[in-house]
């Protein structure tokens, strides 16, 4: 792994600091939202503010690193599920992971988009998620578990809408799963 600005390889301790900052930032964003204090993140990561800023030029760069980790996890989960014996259930399991991401990391995607002059990096993340979901959806459709005409982008929108509708409400995550179950009944073949 190369350094953030000079292209030289990072020292092992610098790599660990960066990884710890990203992991802590993910937890703090999950607790407090995308506007979480950078100083709080540095404090919890056990580094100084200068160390955080040495790794990340600002909030947007840190949020992008957090989001990239979640995209990597969702794509890896899709890869694990693509060979599942029940393609319909594999799609549902993945959509639950998408919902959990949206519910847990409230406002992260919107904060990234709002602060970018160039949305290309976020578009690349979205493209990776769409490709991962398409592979699962294609298998589920071929197995007859999903009716024709359903798009993965619609399923992703649905998961995000369910997350938004239940955010901040009592029993939100349980309610979100229930609403997703109801919605997923609508993608199954009729008759």
Cα–Cα distance for residue pair 64/180, rounded to 1 Å: 27
pLDDT tens digits for 146-162? 999 999 999 999 998 88
In which residue ranges of the chain is CATH 1.10.357.10 found?
67-185
Of the given ranges (13-17, 37-41, 67-71, 76-80), which has the lowest mean pLDDT?
A: 13-17
> CATH for 67-185?
1.10.357.10
pLDDT tens digits for 52-97? 999 998 888 898 899 889 899 999 999 999 999 999 999 999 999 9
Q: Is the pLDDT of residue 102 over 90?
A: no
Q: Band the pLDDT of 186: cuts 50, 70, 90.
A: confident
Give the residue among 37, 38, 36, 57 at the shortest CA–CA distance from 106.
Answer: 36
Mean pLDDT of 33-46: 90
pTM attached to this predicted model? 0.81
DSSP 189: P
Cα–Cα distance for residue pair 51/76, rounded to 1 Å: 30
Q: Which residues, other chains included, contact 178 with Cβ-Cβ below 8 Å and sequence gap of 6+?
A: none
Rounded to the nearest angstrom, the gap between the alpha carbon of residue 50 and the centroid of all alpha carbons in its chain is 27
Give the residue among 26, 33, 49, 4 at the shortest CA–CA distance from 168.
Answer: 33
In which residue ranges of the chain is CATH 1.10.10 found?
1-57
The DSSP secondary structure of 3-26, one letter per residue, reads: -TTT-PBPPHHHHHHHHHHHHHHH
> φ and ψ at 101, to 5 degrees?
-60, -50
Q: Is the pLDDT of residue 182 over 70?
A: yes
Cα–Cα distance for residue pair 106/164, rounded to 1 Å: 8
Q: Is the pLDDT of residue 47 over 90?
A: yes
What class is the 1-57 domain?
mainly alpha
**CA end-to-end distance (rounded Å), the chain:** 53
């Amino acid at each position: 792994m190369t350094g953030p600005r000079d292209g030289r390889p990072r020292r092992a301790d610098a790599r660990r600091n960066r990884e710890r900052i990203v992991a802590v930032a993910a937890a703090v964003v999950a607790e407090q939202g995308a506007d979480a204090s950078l100083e709080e993140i540095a404090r919890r990561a056990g580094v100084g503010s200068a160390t955080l800023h040495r790794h990340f030029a600002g909030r947007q760069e840190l949020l992008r690193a957090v989001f990239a980790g979640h995209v990597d996890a969702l794509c890896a989960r899709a890869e694990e599920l693509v060979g599942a014996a029940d393609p319909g259930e594999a799609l549902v399991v993945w959509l639950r992971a998408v919902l959990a991401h949206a519910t847990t990391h409230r406002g992260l995607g919107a904060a990234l988009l709002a602060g970018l002059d160039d949305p290309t990096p976020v578009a690349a993340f979205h493209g990776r998620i769409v490709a991962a979901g398409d592979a699962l959806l294609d298998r589920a459709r071929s197995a007859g578990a999903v009716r024709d005409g359903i798009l993965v982008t619609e399923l992703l929108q649905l998961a995000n809408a369910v997350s938004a509708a239940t955010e901040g409400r009592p029993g939100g995550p349980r309610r979100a799963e229930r609403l997703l179950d109801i919605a997923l009944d609508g993608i199954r073949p009729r008759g």
